[in-house]
Each structure stands twice: as structure tokens, then as C-alpha cells.
Structure 1
Amino acid sequence: MAKIMIVDDAAFLRAMLKDILVGAGHEVVTEAGNGQEAVERYMAFKPDVVTMDITMPVMEGVEAVKQIRKFDPKANIVMCSAVGQRNLIIEAIQSGAKDFITKPFHSSRVLEAVHRAIGM
């Protein structure tokens, strides 16, 4: 079981991810609605895995990945993106994200990415 932080500006998408992850036995320790909150909450909660949306207000997901990785170079981050954000996904992976999942979410792919990120 992993401790997970879900980051997305859309509450219904956070809820969808939470249902998938909790249903598989993981614990969602915190959620954030933008990249700035994500960085602050990562430092406070130190989750095993972060699911990080790419496009958000205040601070974009890629910038949040860079900041979290500065704080913790071993951070396990899985990016979440809409179809058609290929360049941003590439930038996120180059910035240290371990994997990515696309919206709409498929539970098997979400769990595969999370498990791969933490080496399960």
C-alpha cells in the first residue's frame, strides 16, 4: 500500500482517482488543486507517489515536478494529462516524472503507473 497525493484542479477528477487508488488498497494522504499547493503539501506529507495534472492554475504541473524534485530527488511522480499534450508530457518526464496517464482515466492503467513508480 502506498501513501499518495492527488494533484488536479478538477475536484471530480481527484475524486475519480481517489476511488481507483483507495479501491486498490492505497491511502490518499492529501490532495492539491494546483502546483503551488502540491509543492507545499509534498513537503508536509512526503507521500510515496504523486499523481500530478499538467495544466493547472497558479503553478503548472511541470514546474511543480521540478520544485518537488529539487526538494526530493527521489520523488515518485506520475503525470496526468489530456490527450494531445505530448510536448508537456515529454518535458515532465525529462523533469523527473516516472510515468504518465491520460484522461479519461482507466483504473488498470492508473494502478500500473503507480505501481511502476514505486517499484511494486
Structure 2
Amino acid sequence: MWSDRYNYYQIKSDIAYSKNIHPVAAINLFLQTGYFVKTKNNELKNASHFPWINVALVNSKNGNFNDKETDFLTINLIAIVCAKGQEIDQGIYLSPLMQIARALNWKLYLEEDDEGNTEIEF
């Protein structure tokens, strides 16, 4: 999805969503960075000193999910929405997101860039 105000990232094992993990493993990695706080069972947001970001840990069927269904025993997708704009350096988001993706042995993707390219892997 493309927006002039938001970037949509995903952390997942591959484009087929082929691996599942327990959500607590991912939540702990996010919390350890110091940039995130838990808000609901499988949701996190930015800590007060970090720019706006929202994270949902979901069990997806081909990338589709209902954001009301957040209490899963396993997840295969971490969906991330963050602020975008000229004044926002995306590197501030990419650094912890890449760290988390590597720790899970998963990959970080940008859903769509400003030129219409999709599934951009970092």
C-alpha cells in the first residue's frame, strides 16, 4: 500500500509467509530495543521518545488479516505503519526493524515505494 503520509513495512520469513513463531518471541525483541511499548496482546507502538509507529503481530493468510484478530498462538507476519515525510529520516525506523528481522531470521520489506515498486526487501 502506498501513502504520502505513511510507510508500510512488513517483517516476515519470506513472501509466502511460510514460517510461524510464537508472538512473545517477537514482542520481547521489540521491547528490548527500548523504542516500543506493548499496547494490546499482539500490538506495540512507539515509546514516548521515538517517532510514531504502530506494530501488529498477526497470523496472516497471504498477507491478508483482520486487525481485530490479534490474539494468535503463532504469527507469520509483523505489519508496521510509521510516519513518512521529508522531515522524517526512515533510517530511525529501519535500524531497529532490521535488528528485529535479523534476530528472527526473517526479512524486512517495504510494501510499496514512491515509484510503485512492491515487496522491496532490505
Question: What TM-score do you get using the length of structure 2 for normalisation?
Answer: 0.30
Higher relative contact order (CA 8 A, sep 6+): 2
Q: Which has more strand, going by share of residues? A: 2
Bigger radius of gyration? 2
